[in-house]
Amino acid sequence: MTADTTETKARIARQFIQTIPHAEALGMEITQIGDGLAVITMPYDERLIGDPETGVVHGGAVSALMDTCGGAAVMSHPKSPAGTATINLRIDYMRGATPGQSITAKAECYHVTRSVAFVRATAYDEDESRPVATATGAFTVEGG
Amino acid sequence: MPRKKPEPIQVIKQRRDAALHALAGGVPYIQYLGIQFDRRGDELTAVLPFADQLIGNPMLPAIHGGVTAAFLEVTALISLSWSYLWDDIETGVLEVETLEEGRLPRLPKTIDFTVDYLRSGLPRDAYARARITRSGRRYASVQAEAWQDNRDRPMAQATAHFLMPRPKS
């Protein structure tokens, strides 16, 4: 694949993610995308709190971030022709994200067949040495 | 010895509804997604009214997979907490006043969560129910299923594991 198509793919994936109403509602921003790798940041927001006593963000919001980031990674992969949908996603929660800190997910689409794309992802807060959650997922390859 | 007179139904309902309201109503993220709970006896059905901000694919349009996952996770966690607290709610160990003030006992924590997407989420209301397959002293396993128009055509199913709160020693 030429550098041009890689860049086009990244641009399309970025545009697509930016038009997702729910990603926008959660304030998600793509900081890196291309070649099957995606990094998306979600700022801390009191509306996302799952435990009012501690202010820790709800696991469901982390799931939404992981799902979006996984989909973006698939779309940016050179062997993935167009759109994608999640087939399944497993998330392991290591710890609660520190209240007040943004959460960043890094997803890697590490294998693509004609029909399925395989993804692994990790979410961090500002302490990159201790992951908040990890995820693995399978996504559809559309239009292949 | 005469049997104890049963409590008036309003008293029982008020206590149960206060407990459920405290459990789900006090969590900002549950409110943000707009999730409500329907109660019939001890059976809970979660309801996710459709809203534009829940869309994940504007072309179809379809509900965001992350929203579906969050909806199932909320359903699993609230259902598990509900069954965990049920006896204390019924016996009055948990007082209505305490619950209404939003003061809750410690709740289970998600260890892992797996969601299978079966059909794309249509732009309309979704429902979900959870089944606690095992609730032990330390760990619990919960299955949850979400559907829209037809109960027999689920849009997604999930399996989750939770760490139970340590009892006060």
ipTM for the whole complex = 0.89
CB A63 within 8 A of CB B113: yes
Domain that holds residue B42: 9-163
What does R_g of chain B's alpha carbons equal in angstroms? 17
Give the separation between CA B71 and CA A93, rounded to whole angstroms: 17
The predicted-structure confidence for A114-132, as pLDDT tens digits, reads as follows 999 999 999 999 999 999 9
Whether B169 is covered by a domain: the verdict is no
Contact B64 A57 (CB under 8 A): no
User: Domain containing B44 — which CATH number?
Assistant: 3.10.129.10
Q: From CA B150, how far away is CA B165, in angstroms rounded?
A: 36
pLDDT of residue B168: 66
Q: Would an 8 Å CB–CB cutoff place A22 in contact with chain B?
A: yes
Those of residues 108-167 in B touching chain A at CB distance below 8 A are 109-117, 120
Contact yes or no for B80/B140 (Cβ under 8 A): yes
Residue given tokens 């009214």 in the structure block: B49
Q: Is residue B108 in some structural domain?
A: yes
Domains and CATH numbers, chain A: 3-140 (3.10.129.10)
Contact A64 B58 (CB under 8 A): no
Asked if A57 contacts A48 with a C-beta cutoff of 8 angstroms, the reply is: yes
Residue B67 lies in a domain: yes
Is residue A40 within 8 Å of A31, Cβ to Cβ? yes
Question: Does residue B66 fall inside a structural domain?
Answer: yes
How far away is chain A from the Cα of B15, in angstroms, using its nearest Cα? 22
Q: Which of B156, B63, B65, B158 is nearest to B110 (CA)?
A: B158
pLDDT tens profile B43-67: 999 999 999 989 888 888 889 999 9
The domain total for chain B is 1
Q: Which of B31, B67, B111 sits opposite A22 (nearest CB)?
A: B67
Examine residue B154 and state whether it is found in any structural domain, yes or no: yes
List, run by run, the mean pLDDT of 10-residue segments along chain A (144 residues): 67 77 90 93 95 92 94 91 90 96 97 96 96 97 77
